[in-house]
Amino acid sequence: MAAETMIALHRLHRYFGATRAVDDVSFEVPRGVVFGYIGPNGAGKTTSMRILATLDLPTFGDAYVAGFSVVNDPDQVRRRLGYMPDSYGTYANVTCWEYLDFFARAYGLVGKQRRCAVERVIDFTGLRPLSEKPMTALSKGMKQRLCLGRALIHDPPVLVLDEPAAGLDPGARIELRDMIRQMADAGKTILVSSHILTELAEMCDRVAILMHGRLVAQGTVPEIQKCYEHVEDDAMSLLRIRVCGDVNRLREWFEQCDQYKVVSANEHTMTVFCPKNEERQAALLRELVLAGFPIVEFAPRATSLEDVFLKVTRGKAGI
């Protein structure tokens, strides 16, 4: 039996004068799936997410949440959707508990039901030690947790999260990722946008790439990676090289060689474009060892979600 569709965009368009912010976008997200929404700034992600949250109306087309139209049944959509925007207000002299209690009241929760809802969200987001603290005194990570709690207060089956990891430190991003996976495992459907593509690849069941308001790719992360593996120079492939020690001398060595191109580098690891010929790659490894580089890893690198994104947004995917 096919999984129930909880989010659906059907031929969605949103124009602002001559600007086509969303241009004929269609996709569906089943129950319990984390769906990653990827695109450069101005691609149309936030506009389409605002339409899903009933904060804007489409020029043409429609969007559905749990089978209800954002155009014809916005009240039904709001009962079933929690929206976490990319920016939100903070209020002086309002504690975390009071903030969540206010939104519980706004959703019509009363008495014991309201208190239990706030308790549930406080516990899930780990805000119990800070529940009586003014929200303006919270760290960035704790504010993000509080905003997520606001979206969860009425226990919606669908969540739309716009850049929830923006500005978080690595530890806070990992905790947020774990919470998102936990919610999906409990049956919630989650649409999440982010610029941190490595984390989207780890936590998302499916992803879609938006470019200039149009959907240019969608599928599981392995499907998209496989689809775009061939979209590179026919004679070149990516090599991952890791050294023991600083990578700067290795970078300088490659910059003196015209047949190689450095793609990226961090403290110990470098990715380079290299001829696909295995004999040439073996010769390169021999040259590096003879040059005195302590090579720890030397291997072809699989196409990542970041590679796919760069190929699409730089026009290398033939789209």
Q: pLDDT at position 313, please?
A: 64
Are residue 62 and residue 186 in the same domain, yes or no?
yes
pLDDT of residue 78: 96
Question: Does a structural domain hold residue 311?
Answer: no
166 and 248, same domain (yes or no)? no
Query: Is residue 281 in a domain?
Result: yes
Q: Which of 91, 8, 1 is nearest to 51 (CA)?
A: 8
Whether residue 78 is found in the same domain as residue 184:
yes
Burial of 43 (0-12, 13-18, 19+ CB in 10 A): buried
**40 and 28 in a common domain:** yes
Most confident of 47-56, 208-217, 297-306: 47-56
Residue bearing the bigger pLDDT, 195 or 54: 54
Mean pLDDT of 111-138: 94
Whether 146 and 285 map to the same domain: the answer is no
Whether 306 is covered by a domain: the verdict is no
Concatenated DSSP letters of the chain: -PPPEEEEEEEEEEEETTEEEEEEEEEEEETT-EEEEE--TTSSHHHHHHHHTTSS--SEEEEEETTEETTT-HHHHHHHEEEE-SS----TT-BHHHHHHHHHHHTT--HHHHHHHHHHHHHHTT-GGGTTSBGGGS-HHHHHHHHHHHHHTT--SEEEEESTTTT--HHHHHHHHHHHHHHHHTT-EEEEE-S-HHHHHHH-SEEEEEETTEEEEEE-HHHHHHHHTT-S-TTEEEEEEEESS-SHHHHHHHHT-TT-EEEEE-SSEEEEEEES-HHHHHHHHHHHHHTT--EEEEEEPPPPHHHHHHHHHTT-S--
- Enter the tokens of residue 184: 């999906």
Q: Are residues 40 and 153 in the same domain?
A: yes
Asked if the structure places residue 26 within a domain, the reply is: yes
Mean pLDDT of the chain: 87
Q: Band the pLDDT of 318: cuts 50, 70, 90.
A: very low
Residue 53 included in any domain: yes
Q: 289 is in which domain, residue-wise?
A: 230-301
Q: 219 and 151: one domain?
A: yes
Asked if residue 317 belongs to a domain, the reply is no
Supply the pLDDT for residue 2.
Answer: 54
**Could you tell me if 106 and 190 lie in one domain?**
yes
Q: Same domain, yes or no, for 39 and 64?
A: yes
Last residue of a domain, one of 187, 205, 227: 227
Average confidence (pLDDT) over 284-298: 91
Query: Are 73 and 113 members of one domain?
Result: yes
Identify whether 137 is part of a domain. yes
As a whole number of angstroms, the distance between CA 48 and CA 211 comes to 13
Given pLDDT bands bounded at 50, 70 and 90, which one contains residue 254?
confident
Highest averaged pLDDT of the listed ranges 7-16, 164-173, 215-224, 281-290:
7-16
In this structure, the answer to whether residues 255 and 164 fall within a common structural domain is no
**Number of domains making up the chain:** 2
Q: Is residue 317 predicted with pLDDT exceeding 60?
A: no
Average pLDDT over residues 45-56: 96
235 vs 32 pLDDT, higher one: 32
At residue 315, does pLDDT exceed 80? no
CATH number at residue 181: 3.40.50.300
Q: Of 171, 192, 227, which one is at a domain's C-terminal end?
A: 227
% pLDDT > 70, the chain = 91
Label residue 216 by pLDDT band (50, 70, 90).
confident
Q: Which of 35-39, 101-105, 118-122, 216-220 has the lowest mean pLDDT?
A: 216-220
Same-domain status, 164 and 281: no
Q: Is the pLDDT of residue 50 over 90?
A: yes
Domain boundary among 197, 227, 257: 227
Output the domain CATH number for residue 249: 3.30.70.250
Establish if 308 belongs to a structural domain: no
Report residue 82 CA to chain centroid gap: 17
Q: Band of the pLDDT at 40, cuts 50, 70, 90?
A: confident
Side-chain-side CA neighbours of residue 288 (13 Å): 25
